[in-house]
Amino acid sequence: MEKTLVLVKPDGVQRGLIGEVIARLERRGLRLVGAKFIQVSRELAETHYAIHKGKPFYEGLINYIISAPVMAMVWEGPRAIAAVRQTMGATRPWEAAPGTIRHDFALEVGRNLTHASDSVENGEAEVALWFKSEELVSWARATDQWIFE
């Protein structure tokens, strides 16, 4: 089963949208396996966003992600990476499809509310970066048989 790292970034936390994001992922059928509310260190932010180092928006991105607490979560399900990216919407909110989180709640790329892993490989690396294995819960949900084929 694929796992993906999901962050409700500081703007989502400040705007009271943690519950909205969780509700949409739950409703989609994804299964929560880990969650923690944390203040991100600059070191973790820089490791997480290392791929963007050198880009014009990099410094702003790091300062954004450490500016207030984030809700970090791991969700799993069949094709969870693609499913969560789809529910989040495109990186640039003005390009995000109606009905997606970024379309429905955001206007600016630097205030786009959420992070979600973009590949199975990155999902595994990001989950390992943000969570210790003992912080992840392996569980069977009562509704699994009605959601997972």
Query: Which positions are annotated as active-site residues?
Result: 115
110 binds, among ligand IDP, Mg ion, none (CB under 5 to 8 A by kind): ligand IDP
Q: Phi/psi of residue 131, each to 5°?
A: -130, 140
Q: How many whole angstroms separate alpha carbon 123 and alpha carbon 145?
A: 24
User: Whole-number minimum distance, CB 145 to Mg ion, in Å?
Assistant: 33
Cα dist. 53→24, 66, 128 in Å? Answer: 31, 16, 20
Secondary structure of residue 76 in the 3-state scheme: strand
Does 112 participate in binding ligand IDP (rule CB under 6 A)? Answer: yes
Select 37 or 94, whichever has its Cβ closest to ligand IDP: 94
Does 118 participate in binding ligand IDP (rule CB under 6 A)? Answer: yes
User: Whole-number minimum distance, CB 116 to Mg ion, in Å?
Assistant: 8
Q: Which of 91, 97, 119, 141 binds ligand IDP (CB under 6 A)?
A: 91
Output the CA torsion 54→100→96→44 (10° steps).
0
Select 34 or 93, whichever has its Cβ closest to ligand IDP: 93
Q: How many whole angstroms separate alpha carbon 115 and alpha carbon 108?
A: 14
Find the helix or strand (DSSP H, E) in which 74 lies: strand 70-77
Q: Which of 6, 13, 61, 80 binds ligand IDP (CB under 6 A)?
A: 61
Residues that bind ligand IDP (CB under 6 A): 57, 61, 91, 109-110, 112, 115, 118
Residues that bind Mg ion (CB under 5 A): 118
